Structure 1
Amino acid sequence: MKIEEIKRLYSEEIFEALLDRDGSGAGYVCPFCASGAGPKGTGLRPLYVKGVKRPGSYKCFNAGCEWAGDGLDLIAGMYHITEPVEQIRKAEEILRRPLLDRTESIIDEFSKDEKTQDKGNKKPVVINDKLIAEIQAEIQKYHANLLESKAGLDYLAARGISKATAIKYKLGFCDNYNRDGMNTPAIIYPDGPTSYTARSITTNESSRKVRKRKGGEYQDIFNFNVLKDPACPPVVYVVEGQADALSIIEAGGQAIATGGGT
């Protein structure tokens, strides 16, 4: 079991689930000193080490506090849990889904052997921690963009997808996503740890998707983890588009999306 894997994949969700946004909207209210609670307050902000952003880690810049850490550190401080395994159990309770089995499968598939997938004469793509980190960093960047984008949020609202749902599922937005040499505004749908789908939202563009794949034609299935949730309902719809799945979720159901294939 690699604790760092869990921290990288789930810390952002833990912060989002436990904390309120600070007055600036760019960070979170510090739970240890309440810094950031004011209208212009600055609370927890992304942590940079030697000029490089550390994914899933935040720091309080209140001189009297200066707390810093990732999602499991946050759980440790708020709930006084010192054992890493118990911190993970608490994270599962907070996020309402199992993390350990999924993380173990990710380690087995990506970290131990750095497996590759090849199809035809295509160059194989190495599946490893570096690829996962790169894609997760892109997803976080696009998610931050969406929270500041009226065009992106308005598009989702027109599809019946609320801002709260967009935050929960880490949806993103790019105003000039490059597709085959053409730039187009696009909504970003995270499908899993190694892929996302970018869908154009302009009327004069085709609806063909651009995927960040982990190799060959493979793509993660959107919202697949709901099937591992002990609270998973007896009926889960299988649909093609991520927006279709989210519409069902907004209506009180559950769905997964294949992203264009079955």
Structure 2
Amino acid sequence: MKKLIQPAGIGIFTMIFTMILLWPWKSDDFAENREIRLRNVGHQILLASGDSTSRVLPIKRISESEYSIVFENPFQFDPDSLVKVIHKGLGEGLVGKKAEGKYQVNVVECIENQVVYSYQMSSHKDKTLIPCQGRLQPKDCYSIKIRFDHNTMRVSNFSVPIIIGILAFGFLLIYNKNALKPSKSKNMGNSQSVGIGKFELYHSKQLLKIGTEEIQLSQKENKLLTLFALHPNEMLERDHLLKEIWEDEGVFVGRSLDMFVSKLRKKLLQDPNIQLKNIRGRGYVLQVK
């Protein structure tokens, strides 16, 4: 468990730091001068209908992302012209930003408060819906409600740091796990051996040789001695050895480890320069002089 603390901490820190960098501290990047641009949209709509004198009344903010443009006098509109005027007007006054590409427009009749015309604008053409093009709408009292869509921005800014944090945690966890194991590049192939003092260990054959004498090893003796041989004069922790040798069996028995170490000591007696030392309460070291 302790070995997981470092990668977990780094992964969580990476996620939090990335969230701070990418989090939309301003929930709406366009809100600063949006009402001015919406008044300009209303002005352009009146001009397109031939009205250059009546007023655009104060913009009403219905919610965080929805606004209403209210007019002093009735007017008529052509859907084609309305779409172009609104889209162009929303982009005016922006410096270094693209115009908002996702919003829905509802033209509402004042007295009955009914939607007489609506369309949806999207940054993807196949999701843009503009009905009744080319049909002139009658002169009447209208207000225009525009609702902006920012859900994509919020989900994206929230999910990116989480994904990065998870990837960072996973990478560090794998790296930490691999770092604790003997390097796979050191594993011996069919014809390779590793020297242990006067001995030669043939891992693939489960064989220990000294001179012309061959000593057969059991599967667990072979695994255990290979771990020691790849890490001479290094202390290997008991938990690590137990996990490496007995991980497939599901039950780790400390006395089994001690028993196999004792067996290996007897098989290594022919070289007095080799000692398998017990570091009390911690693990074992294969000392090779």
TM range (shorter): under 0.3
Higher relative contact order (Cα pairs below 8 Å, separated by 6+ residues): 2
Q: TM-score, normalised by structure 1?
A: 0.22
Larger radius of gyration: 2
Larger helix fraction of residues: 2
